[in-house]
Chain A
Amino acid sequence: MLTRLHCLSDVRIRAAADEEAKPVERYHLEACAECRARLDEVRQANDALREMAAHVPVPALLRSRVEQALIERSDRTGATTLRDGLLPRVRSVRLGMLPGFLESLGLVGRLTLPRLLTAGLVAAAVLFVVFTLPPPDAPRILSAAVILDRSLETLSPVSGTELREFDLELRLPYIGSVQNGTGRIEQLVDHDTPGRYRFVRYAPDGAMVAAISEDPLAGRRTAIVHADGRFFRFRFTIEAGHALDLAELERHHVEAAIRVLQTVAGQTVSEIDDERGKRYVVELPAAAAASVSGSYLGDAFSISFRLRRRQVLPTAQVPLERFDVPDTPGAVTIDAAGTEDLAHDLLTSALGALARSR
C-alpha cells in the first residue's frame, strides 16, 4: 500500500494524468495533497497540449480529396494487381511544363518523392533490360561499370544512322499522366554526327507523348511537351559546340537510375565501398527476360521492354526532316536560343513566353 511516505514518481504521476494509474496509486493520490498538486500540473500541461493540437487547422478539402480517392479505389473491381489508389496523390505539386516533359521522357515523375522513385525505377528497369540483358547462361550479377560500358557501347556501335523501335509495356501503380499499356519508343541516332538524334515516345493509344530532336547540321533543337491537354513546341537555335552530349546524358541517366533503384529495392542493388572506390552490384532476377515486375510501396508493377526493330542506314539515305520532331498541329510554339542546358532552356523560354503573353 502506498502511503504519503511513498509518493508517486513523475512517471506514475504522468500515468495518473493520462488515466493510466493503478488503483493503489489512485488511492494514494486521494490522500496525498503534494502528489495531487503535481498531478494538477501535469494535467494542465496535457490540457495545453490537447488544446493546441485541436487548433491545428485541417484542410477544408481533405474530405473531398479522400472521398475522390476512395471512389477511384472502389471502381477497380476484380483480381487486378494495379492498386494505384494507394500512392499518395499531390496534384497540386506541379511546377509547370518542365517536370511534365521530363516525366514524359521517363526521366522523372511529378516532383514528389514517390513519383520520382517510381519513375526512376521504371527508368532503371528499362535501362537494365536494354543495356544489360544478359544471355541466359551469363552471370547474373553485373557491376555498374559494366552497365555503363554496355550502355555506351550500345550508343556507338555503328556508323550511319541507327533506328531503334521499342515496345514498352507498363503496368504501374501511378506515375502522373503516364498511361498503362504498350507504348512505343522510337530512337533515331546519327552515329556520324555527334548530337544528331531524335527520340519520340508514343502512348499506348498511338498518340505522341513527347519528343526531342537535335540536328547540329540544321542548327536546331526541338522539344515537344504535352501539358494540360495541349502540345507545346520549343524550338531552339543552337550553335556549334552547344550540342547535347547524348552519351553523357545517358551515363547520368543510368547512374541516377541505379541510385534510385538502390533506394527502393535494396534487395537487388547493393553498394560496395572498397579500395577501387564505390561500386554498385545489380542482381538481376533469375528469370530476367525483357520484363521486370515486383512491388513498390505495396503496389504491384510490371514493365516489359522489347526491341521491335533495329535498322542501320547510310545517313545520306535518311531524309533531313526525320531529325525533326513530328508535326503537332495546334501546338503552342516557343522560339528561343538554345544552350547546352536543355532543362534551363525549357524553363527560361517557357517563363519568357509567359511574361510576354501578360
Chain B
Amino acid sequence: MGTSEAASLVLNSTACAVADDSCPNEVLELFDAYGASLFRFARLMLRSHADAEDVVQSTFVRLIDHLAAHRLNRGESGSNLRAWLFTVAANLCRDQLRMRKRWSVWLPEHEQRLTAAPDVEARDAMTLFLAAIATLAPRDRALVALKAQGLSYRDIAAATGVRETSVGRLLARAMARWHRARTAMSHT
C-alpha cells in the first residue's frame, strides 16, 4: 500500500469517527451476515485457522474506513459490499501467503476453540477436502474458495483480479484439479 493510499485511509478513518459513532455496530451486523463465509474462504486460502482469523479481523476493521467513505460518497448495495469484503479478504490472504515463511508457530490452542466435527467420518472427509484444496495453486484455490461461498463470476473476478470473461474457464480447470486431487487422495 502506498503512502498516499495510507494517507487516504487515515482521512477516511477520521471521517468515520467524526461522522458516526455507530460504525462498530453496523460492522458487527455485517459480520453476522458475512463473517462465517469470509472466515471459511480465508481458511481455505490459508490452511491456518489463526491466519484466517487475522484476515477476517483486518477485513472488518478496514470496513469501518470503507463505510465512512461510503457515507460520504453515497449509496452502495449489499451485493457490492459483499464483493468488497471478499476482495479485501482475498488481498489480505495474498499478502499473508507472500509473507508466510517456512517457520510458522503452531500451538495447540489454535485449534482449541473450534467446533469439533460431528464424527470421525466427517472429520476425515473435512481433512480430505481441505488437503485437496491445499494442493491447488493460490489462484485456483481462490477461485474454488470464492465459488464455494457462492460468489458470482463478477464478484470472483473483482476479488481475484481475473477478467470476468475468464472466470468460467479458469474455474472449470481449478475445479477439475481439485476433483482430481480429492479423488487421488481418497484412494491413498
Contacts and interface: CB of A to CB of B under 8 A. Distances in A.
A355 interface: no
A62 B35 contact: yes
A303 B100 CA distance: 26
Nearest to B40: A56
Nearest to A61: B113
Contacts of B99: 113-114, 117
A56 B43 contact: yes
Interface of B, helix, strand, loop or mixed by DSSP: helix
Interface stretch (B24-32, B69-77, B79-87): B24-32
Interface size band for A: 35 or more
B60 to A, nearest CB: 5
A59 B53 contact: yes
Nearest to A93: B105
B148 A50 contact: yes
Interface string A302-321: 00000000000000000000
A310 B150 CA distance: 64
A58 to B, nearest CB: 5
Contacts of B14: 77-80
Interface string B100-130: 1100010101100111110000100110011
A298 to B, nearest CB: 4
A24 interface: no
Interface stretch (A7-15, A215-223, A337-345): A7-15
Contact of B113 (A59, A93, A95, A111): A59
B80 to A, nearest CB: 18
A299 B49 CA distance: 24
A332 interface: no
Contact of A49 (B64, B101, B114, B175): B175
Quick one: which of B58, B95, B122, B152 has the most chain A CB within 10 A? B58
Given A53-B44, A86-B62, A93-B50, A63 B39 contact: no
Interface of B: 1-3, 5-6, 9-10, 13-14, 16-18, 21, 23-24, 27-28, 31-32, 35-36, 39-40, 43-44, 49-50, 53-58, 60-62, 64, 95, 99-101, 105, 107, 109-110, 113-117, 122, 125-126, 129-130, 144-145, 147-150, 152-153, 168-169, 171-172, 175, 178-179
Given A56-B43, A58-B39, 8 more contacts: A11-B172, A20-B168, A46-B147, A65-B53, A66-B28, A74-B16, A92-B107, A113-B100
